[in-house]
Structure 1
């Protein structure tokens, strides 16, 4: 893992992003203290969502109706979006 000062990261931001895009994680320091790690964004999948939902109660029919009503209330929308604000 490579380390850069905050000043260096600022001056060479494009290079930093190139390294991260290539899979590298960079530690950013300020005054000899580690302040951040910048690494590749993790790609999220359906498996991630399923794992996050383990142990939660599935929504009931009222939830589905509430969401459908909310969507119906603004799609399609015509007119002044600021009216009544």
Structure 2
């Protein structure tokens, strides 16, 4: 893990992003104290979403009815918010 001052990170931001894109994690310091850790973004997948929702119970029938009612309010004649004026 590389350490960089906030001033250096600011002056060499493009190089900083290049290093992160290559997989490096960089600690940013200010006044000799670590203030941030920058690492490559994790790509999210459908499997991540399924895992996050695994313990959440599915919506009940009332929820589906509420959604249908709300959509009905939006699409009734003369009340379509997406219609061109």
TM range (shorter): 0.7 to 0.9
Q: Structure 1 stretch 71-80 or stretch 60-69: which is displaced more? A: 71-80
Q: Which runs of 5+ in 1 are unaligned?
A: 81-85
> Who is 2:40 aligned against?
40
- SS for the counterpart of 2:55 is coil
In 1, Cα distance between equivalents of 2:2 and 2:71: 47
In 2, Cα distance between equivalents of 1:71 and 1:10: 48
- SS for the counterpart of 1:29 is strand
Question: Which runs of structure 2 are paired with 1:1-85 in the superposition (5 Å)?
Answer: 1-70=1-70, 73=74, 77-79=82-84
TM-score (norm 1): 0.77
Larger radius of gyration: 2
Number of aligned residue pairs: 80
Moved over 6 A (4+): none
